[in-house]
Structure 1
Amino acid sequence: MSSDPWGRVDETGTVYVRTADGEKVVGSWQAGSPEEALAYFERKYEGLVVEIGLLEKRVRTTDLSAKDAQAAIDHLREQVDAHHAVGDLDALRTRLDKLVETVEARREERKAQRAKQSDEARKAKEDLVAEAEQLARSDQWRAAGERLRALVDTWKGLPRLDRKSDDELWHRFSHARSAFSKRRKAHFAQLDAQREEARRIKERLVAEAEALSGSTDWGPTAARYRELMAEWKAAGRAQREHEDDLWNRFRGAQDVFFAARSSVFAERDAEQSENLKLKEELAEEAEKLLPVNDLKAARAAFRSINERWEAIGHVPRDARPKVEGRMHAVERAIQEAEEAEWRRTNPEARARAEGLTGQLQAAVDKLKAQIEQARAQGNNAKADKLEKELEGRQALLEQALKGLQEFGG
């Protein structure tokens, strides 16, 4: 009979293993010596030790699912419980029990992680819905529209929730977008209607102006032209493709009339020369308003000068473009100052400028990273090509930053 600390072979060739519950029959061995029998079943035990060790490592270092891990544990436990090996089988059971605990802990950990991710996704989608519902009430049509499109892309990148919650949030999100689109469409439809109405009014004014252009009833006709000009200004702007053409016809009709009147009043040249002198003095006074430092004061002063200008009357025809040009230059400078002030205080323009600089900065940073990676990989041709593209993007970024500075940003 042969034995070791964990097993023995009796005189009949029966192999036993010692466990906490007493000896268990491992098998029968008739092919050789008892020592060979123990060695054979000890090797089977070592095989189980190796398999359990590998499973422990897989559980510890890979993303093996809890279901697959438990199946592997059950398979090994069957082999251990079959007592077909000689060794410390109780120790193997203990290791398998601990492995079950580890797998269960991992299962709970992953369950908690999935719950956390779901909570984070829910919070993110609720935030998107809240922002979309706020944007739905905005009148910043371009900025809000662009932001809503960005929110859709963000939504697509988030994981789905349970079907009921996801559908409810998406319904609110989609409803907010639809409400904004409906309001924007109504706004521009109204704007188009107003411009169309302005076009109809101005076509009527042009028709009357052209009909009056041949009149020799100088006083009443001139007065009517002034009334037509007031109506023109009150009508608002027509569509861009019609506005300039209508204005040229309207102004041309007035020019025909006033040119004819000027030829009849040729004898008043002396008076017109005096008018020219007065208007040149007013033009000089107006030019002193430049550069525009105090917009409000400049506007009020120019209005006063212009009222006196209008009260003076006509100047010689050949001198009119020059002197009027001087006044128009001052008027344009004041208008440009007004437009600059409007742009500077316009939050929508500022948002566009900030968004553009942000996009360009991100593109520059990305190109720099790509160039560095290409250099590191020894791909100089690609890096050189990317650097040329980077130069263009940096130039655009500098231009955008200069534009942003107009807002004090």
Structure 2
Amino acid sequence: MSSEPWGRVDEAGTVYVRTADGERVVGSWQAGSPEEALAYFERKYDGLVVEIDLLERRLRTTDLSAKDASTAIDHLREQVAQAHAVGDLEALAGRLERLAGEVASLREERRAARARQSEEARAAKEALVAEAEELASSEQWRVAGDRLRALVDTWKGLPRLDRKTDDELWHRFSQARSAFSKRRKSHFASLDSQREESRRRKEKLIAEAEALSDSTDWGPTAARYRELMRDWKAAGRAQREAEEGLWTRFRAAQDVFFSARGAAFAERDAEHRDNLARKELLAAEAEKLLPVTDVRAARAALRSIGERWETIGHVPRDSRAAIEGRIHAVERAVAEAEEAEWRRTNPEARARAAGLTGQLQDAVDRLREQVERARAQGNEAKASKLESELAGRQALLDQALKGLQEFGG
């Protein structure tokens, strides 16, 4: 008979394993020695150890599910309980029990993790719903639309909740997106209508601009083009694909008119500059009449200059005041000379001047006699008063004599 700590072989070749409940037959051995028999059944025990080692490693190093781990443990328990092996089977059973405890802890941990994950997912989806509902009323169409698409991608990356909760949140999320899409569609439909109306208004403005493009009524037409430009800006934008073409046509019509006007103005300005040069020659000719020595000849020469002046036409606006000022100065000088000549040669005026001078001379002579008489009488106060009156009359006489001299007498 052969014996080891965990088993033995009797004389008949029966192999036993020792357990806490006593010995149990695990097999018989007839082909070799008892030592070989124990070694054979011990290798079966080592096989169970290897399987348990593998299960422990899988449980601790992989994502083996608790359900699969429990199934494997139950299978190994059955194997250990019925094992035809020699070894410390109670130790193996203990290891399996400890593994079962680990699996139970793992199951609770994973259940708690799933609960936390579900709560986090629920909170995340509620936040997505709240943001989507806020975006539903936005008028930042592109930004809000891009953000809603990003929210959908985020939603798809989150774990599903229980069906009822997930469906309710998804329904709110979808309603918010639909509300935004409906408002955006309505907005752009309205915008398209407005742009179509803008296109029609601009077509009318173009038609008028093109009709005016060959006008030569420069001032009123230019003013009307300014009004058309204000109307164009007030009309709003047409569709993007039409706007550039409309503007090109509108601008082209204006360019035709303003180019023609510019050419006409350039021709006119050249003519005005030539007119100015001709009038400057006439002004210089007129200025040679000064000072006026022969009124009649000066008037005749100035009349000839004026007739030629009137035939010349307009000069540049910024030069008009200066050139006209020169000729007007000569006209005033000739007119003043004529007035002076008339005064000298007018008999009635000469007679009136002579009469006034005689009256003043008589008054001065009388006052001078009165002064002498008062002084002879010793009345100095009266003499002083009369002398003051005399001085005033003498001043008037001097002025009258000067005027009389202008008549040549």
Name the residue aligned to 1:121.
121
Matched, 1:4 2:4: yes
State the distance in 1 between where 2:315 and 2:232 align.
Answer: 31
Q: Is the 8 A contact 1:213 1:256 kept in 2?
A: no
Report 1:70-89 matches (<5 A): 70-89=70-89
State TM-score, norm by structure 1: 0.56
Paired residue type of 2:28: S
Paired residue type of 1:201: R
Q: Is the 8 A contact 1:25 1:83 kept in 2?
A: no
More deviation, 86-95/146-155? 146-155
State the distance in 1 between where 2:44 and 2:196 align.
Answer: 94
Structure 2 gap ranges (5+):
273-312, 322-409
Name the residue aligned to 1:29.
29
Report 1:22-61 matches (<5 A): 22-61=22-61
1:78-100 Cα offsets, whole Å, 9 max, x none, are: 22212522222211111111111
Report 1:165-180 matches (<5 A): 165-180=165-180
Name the residue aligned to 1:64.
64
Q: Is the 8 A contact 1:199 1:242 kept in 2?
A: no
Paired residue type of 1:19: T
Matching residue within 247, 250, 268 for 1:247? 250
- SS of 1:25's partner is strand
Change (3 A) 1:256 1:107: same
State the distance in 2 between where 1:204 and 1:15 align.
Answer: 114
Q: Which has the larger radius of gyration?
A: 2
State the 1:52 CA deviation. 1.9
Name the residue aligned to 2:317.
271
Name the residue aligned to 2:287.
none
Q: Is the 8 A contact 1:26 1:84 kept in 2?
A: yes
State the 1:257 CA deviation. 9.3
1:1-34 Cα offsets, whole Å, 9 max, x none, are: 4333322333443333222222222233344444
Name the residue aligned to 2:181.
181
- SS of 1:202's partner is helix
State the distance in 2 between where 1:72 and 1:215 align.
Answer: 101
State the 1:155 CA deviation. 2.9
State the distance in 1 between where 2:212 and 2:36 align.
Answer: 129
State the 1:190 CA deviation. 2.5
Matched, 1:92 2:95: no
State the distance in 2 between where 1:233 and 1:112 align.
Answer: 66
Report 1:291-310 matches (<5 A): none
More deviation, 63-72/266-275? 266-275
- SS of 1:17's partner is strand
State the distance in 2 between where 1:34 and 1:63 align.
Answer: 44
State the distance in 1 between where 2:162 and 2:174 align.
Answer: 18
State the distance in 2 between where 1:40 and 1:227 align.
Answer: 113
State the 1:210 CA deviation. 4.9
Q: Is the 8 A contact 1:209 1:254 kept in 2?
A: no
State the distance in 2 between where 1:115 and 1:177 align.
Answer: 29
State TM-score, norm by structure 2: 0.56
Q: Is the 8 A contact 1:209 1:253 kept in 2?
A: no
Q: Is the 8 A contact 1:205 1:250 kept in 2?
A: no
Structure 1 gap ranges (5+):
276-409
State the 1:105 CA deviation. 2.0
Matched, 1:131 2:131: yes
State the distance in 2 between where 1:274 and 1:139 align.
Answer: 61
Q: Is the 8 A contact 2:135 2:144 kept in 1?
A: yes
Matched, 1:153 2:156: no
- SS of 1:77's partner is helix
Name the residue aligned to 1:359.
none
Change (3 A) 1:194 1:246: farther
Q: Is the 8 A contact 2:209 2:250 kept in 1?
A: no
State the 1:211 CA deviation. 4.8
Paired residue type of 1:94: G
State the distance in 2 between where 1:78 and 1:108 align.
Answer: 25
Change (3 A) 1:254 1:136: farther
State the 1:264 CA deviation. 9.3
- SS of 1:85's partner is coil
Q: Is the 8 A contact 1:225 1:254 kept in 2?
A: no
Change (3 A) 1:185 1:246: farther
Paired residue type of 1:135: L
State the 1:102 CA deviation. 1.5
- SS of 1:23's partner is strand
State the distance in 2 between where 1:49 and 1:211 align.
Answer: 105
